[in-house]
Structure 1
C-alpha cells in the first residue's frame, strides 16, 4: 500500500470523525466550540480537494527506483507527507476540543446541581423570633385563664355517663345556678375538657348532652367530674 492510499484512508476516517463530532456538538450552546468546529470542517474540505487532486495526478505506471543511489522523493510523496502532518494536527485539535467540551459539561452539571436546602425548624424559628414581652403576655393570659377556671363555682358533678349516646346524668350542688338550655363546662386540671347542653331537669338531677365540638370520639368522662359555668374569659367552647 503506497502513501497515497494511506492518505486516502486517513482522510476518509478523519472526515467521519469530524462529521460525528460536529453532529454531537450541534445541540450545545458553546459558540466558541462551534466556530472551531466550523473552521476544522473548512480545513478538511480543503484537504479533501488536495486529496482529489493527488488522486487525479497519480499515474498507474510509476516505477520506484531500486538502485543503491537514494531515490529522490517525488513531489507527490512530499505533498502526501505534508497532508498527513496536517491531518495529524487537525486530529490533535479535535481531541483537545473534545476534552475541553467534556470539562465544560462537567462544570455546567455542577453549577446546575440544586443545592441542599437547610431543614427549616418552624418551632425553633418561632422561639428565636418571639419577643420576650410577647412571651410574658402569653404566660400571663394562660395563668389568668387557669385561675378563672379554678375559682369558678362548682355547679354539678357527673353521676353517670353513656358514651354511646353522649349523655351524662349530673347532680346539682347547693350553689347550682343553671337551667335547661344553659351550657356547663367540664373542669379538669385547671382547664376545660368539653361542654354540655342541659336538656332536662328533675329536682337536683339533670340530663346533659355532650356538645358536638370534639370531632369523632368523645373524651373519657368519669363519675365525679366537675361541671362549672364557663368563665366569660373562655366563652362557650363551641
Structure 2
C-alpha cells in the first residue's frame, strides 16, 4: 500500500461522512418544513367548519338575532330561508372536503420527504461502514508501517547510476542482501536491496517493479524492514 492509496481512502471516508451530515441536515430541514404549520392551520380551519356544520346555527350570509325583543318591544324572530340554508350547507361541505384533500396531500408530501431522507441516511451510513470494514486491514498495515523500527535513511540517490547510498541507524540489523522498504508518511513507496556495507554506510539498488509510477527516491527517506503482510 502506498501513500496515495491511504490519502484516497481517507478522502473517501471524509466525503462519506460529509454525505451523512448533509442528509441529516436535510432530514432536520424536512422536519421543520413550513408545510407542517400550514397543515396545522388547515386542520384548525377544518375543525371550525365541521363544528359549524354540525351545530344548529344557521349557515349562510344572513345573520339572525336570538333576541326577540328590540328597543321597540317584541320583534318576530327571523326564520332562515331553507334554500339558502341548504346552499350554505352544501358550500360548507365542499369546502370541508377540499380542506381534507389539501391536508392529506400535504401530509403525504411530508411523509415521503422524511422517508426519502431516512433512506438516504441509512444508505450513506451503510456505505461508510462497509468501506471502513473493507479498509480495516489496510489501516492496520499502515499502522504497522508507521511503528516499524527505523533501520537506515537515504543519504543520496544517484539517478544515472541507479544507486542509493544509505546511512545505517541500526548496524546490527542491516547486512548485505537485506531488503528495505522506503517509508514515506505511513506508506511504502518502493524497496531497495542492500549491497556493500561499510561501517555505518552502505549502497543499495532499487528493486524494479516495487515503485508505483516509477522510481521515486529522496534524500532523507526512511528505510524499514517491510511488514510481512
Task: Normalising by structure 2, report the TM-score.
Answer: 0.41
* Greater radius of gyration (CA): 1
Q: Which has the higher contact order (CA 8 A, sep 6+)?
A: 2
Task: Normalising by structure 1, report the TM-score.
Answer: 0.40
